[in-house]
Amino acid sequence: MTAQTIILIFTLVIYLIIIFVFNKARIKYAGGKVGKVINLILVTVCLLFIADYVVIFDQVVNADLLEIIRALFRTAALSFLAYGGAKVADS
């Protein structure tokens, strides 16, 4: 196994733990500001997950295009978190 594979497996485990824990919390704290924040975190983590695992298409898609897609998903995740956080703070 290469170092990149080990890192991808480790981050996959971290992402799955985060998604599992926050999904259970979302069920418990449905509604209100806490529920909105949990949804923000879940969507952000899912977008970052997609950004990190675009690498698996490296045999099919050009490396430059993969970097563009990765940057777009990371930017979308952070923008969603910033916009959603501002809306929750205003309410």
16-56 pLDDT per residue, tens: 999 999 999 988 888 888 999 999 999 999 999 999 999 88
Q: What is the pLDDT of residue 13?
A: 95
Q: What's the CA gap between 15 and 26, in Å, rounded? A: 16
Q: What is the pLDDT of residue 32?
A: 86
Q: What's the CA gap between 24 and 79, in Å, rounded? A: 25
* pTM assigned to the model: 0.86
Q: What is the pLDDT of residue 79?
A: 95
Nearest 10 degrees: Cα torsion 64, 69, 72, 74: -100
Which residue segment(s) compose the domain that 55 sits in? 3-90
Q: What is the pLDDT of residue 44?
A: 95
What are the DSSP calls for the chain, one per residue? --HHHHHHHHHHHHHHHHHHHHHHHHHHT-SHHHHHHHHHHHHHHHHHHHHHGGGGGTTTS-HHHHHHHHHHHHHHHHHHHHHHHHHHHH-
How confident is the model over 1-26, as a mean pLDDT? 91
Q: What is the pLDDT of residue 30?
A: 83
What's the total number of domains in the chain? 1
Q: What is the pLDDT of residue 78?
A: 95
